[in-house]
């Protein structure tokens, strides 16, 4: 009886020892996995920290670059600042291309056009702004509005220019006088904003347009669609063009608002932006 009891007791002890060994093995394996997980976590955390630090560095670099390259308004196409700031701003924003009696349309200027109707076209990047402006103007009750003249090819501009010169010569003006008088109302071929496809003449192209509610609406709202009155009366000495209440030019919403805020014409605004870029050059 006692012998049988001893055998049973020794069996229990063996089972306890075996169970203890299993528990120890499980504990060792668990700690091993925990150690690996901790090491993996440290590695992941370290990589994440490095990635965050790199991202912050990149952001700081981008901010620094932006401060050096961006002037005013939304810049459509980011370009490096060149040695000639007056060219740079026009490269940055296609809608700020300056064309007047002293600045010919760039030879490499890419004209992108869409049809307003069967006979009129406008820059495809700006036509939606023009259409929206006219639509909303009519919705506000200024219904007597239509685009009389928009894009004109250089060839068409040449025909208009020559015809006007001939008219002044026919009434007794010499060649020089005829051209001078013509250029007060019609720019030379390649020197007209209409050649860019960014200008629109409204209605009958007459001074009386300034007395209409459509004109008042444009003065109050056109900037919200990216358009400015291109040849204000008080800026004739700068634009070298007589006051044209019917002639509006697309420059983009941000620039239009800034131009009106500063009380500038496009020539003054381009000069203003050039100075900002020049200052940026000197601060490097």
Query: What residues act catalytically?
Result: 244
Residue 232 three-state SS? coil
Task: Name the DSSP letter for residue 103.
Answer: B
Q: Is 267 exposed, middle or buried (0-12, 13-18, 19+ CB in 10 A)?
A: middle
How far is residue 222's CA from residue 249's CA, in Å, rounded to a whole number? 10
DSSP H or E segment with residue 158: helix 154-170
Q: CA 210 → CA 199, 227, 264, distances in Å?
A: 17, 16, 19
- The residue among 188, 163, 22, 168 whose CA lies nearest residue 105 is 188
């Amino acid at each position: 009886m006692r012998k049988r009891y001893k055998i049973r007791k020794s069996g229990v002890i063996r089972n306890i020892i075996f169970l203890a060994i299993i528990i120890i093995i499980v504990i060792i394996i668990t700690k091993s996995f925990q150690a690996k997980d901790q090491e993996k976590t440290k590695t992941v955390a370290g990589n994440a920290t490095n990635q965050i630090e790199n991202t912050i560095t990149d952001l700081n670099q981008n901010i620094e670059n932006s401060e050096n390259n961006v002037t005013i308004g939304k810049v459509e196409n980011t370009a490096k600042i060149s040695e000639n700031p007056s060219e740079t701003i026009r490269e940055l924003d296609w809608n700020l291309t300056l064309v007047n009696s002293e600045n010919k349309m760039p030879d490499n200027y890419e004209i992108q056009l869409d049809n307003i109707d069967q006979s009129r076209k406008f820059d495809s990047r700006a036509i939606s702004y023009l259409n929206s402006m006219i639509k909303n103007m009519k919705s506000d009750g200024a219904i007597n509005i239509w685009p009389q003249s928009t894009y004109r090819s250089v060839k068409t501009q040449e025909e208009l220019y020559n015809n006007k010169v001939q008219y002044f010569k026919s009434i007794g003006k010499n060649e020089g006088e005829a051209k001078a008088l013509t250029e007060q109302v019609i720019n030379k071929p390649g020197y007209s904003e209409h050649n860019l496809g960014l200008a629109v003449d409204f209605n009958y192209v007459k001074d009386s347009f300034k007395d209409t509610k459509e004109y008042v609406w444009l003065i109050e709202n056109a900037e919200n669609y990216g358009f400015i009155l291109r040849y204000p009366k008080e800026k004739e000495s700068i634009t070298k063009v007589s006051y044209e209440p019917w002639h509006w030019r697309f420059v983009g919403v941000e620039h239009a608002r800034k131009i009106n805020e500063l009380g500038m014409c496009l020539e003054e605004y381009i000069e203003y932006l050039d100075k900002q870029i020049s200052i940026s050059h000197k601060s490097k």
